[in-house]
Amino acid sequence: MSHLTFDWDPRKDAANRKKHDVSFHEAKTAFTDEFGRLIADPDHSEEEDRFILLGMSIHSRLLVVCHCVREGETIRIISARKADKRERKTYEGYRHA
C-alpha cells in the first residue's frame, strides 16, 4: 500500500467509528483487496467526483468506502461502513466470476 496516499478529516473519522464501528485506518486497507470493486457515485458527486470501493479490510470485514481523489492522487476517505447483505452478494459474485 506504500504507493497509495490517504487523507481524511480526523473528526469525521471519530464520528464514523462511533456511528459505524469502522475506522478510516481500517478502511484504507480495503484498497489492497485484489477482488475489490470501484464504483462511480454520481448521486453524490455534485462538487467532486466521488467513488465507492467495495473491498475486504485487513480485519476480514467487507467494507463500503466512500472516497474521492484529490490533487496528487491522494485518496480522501469520506465514510466507511460494513457492507450489507446485498453488497456482500455483489462482492461474492465478483470474486467467483
pLDDT at 16: 98
For 23-97, where are the E strands, in sequence order?
37-40, 50-56, 62-70, 74-82
CB 14 within 8 A of CB 22: no
Instruction: Tell which wins on pLDDT, 11 or 49.
Output: 11
Q: How many CA atoms lie within 13 A of 86 on its CB side?
A: 0
All structural domains of the chain, each given as residue ranges with its CATH number in brackets, are: 5-95 (3.10.450.530)
pLDDT band of residue 1 (cuts 50, 70, 90) is very low
Residue among 9, 15, 3, 22 nearest 68 (CA) = 9
pLDDT band of residue 97 (cuts 50, 70, 90) is low
Grid coordinates of 67: 472516497
Query: Could you report the per-residue pLDDT of 55-80, keeping only the tens digit for each?
Result: 999 999 999 999 999 887 899 999 99
What's the rounded mean pLDDT across residues 31-35? 95
pTM given for the model: 0.89
CB 85 within 8 A of CB 18: no
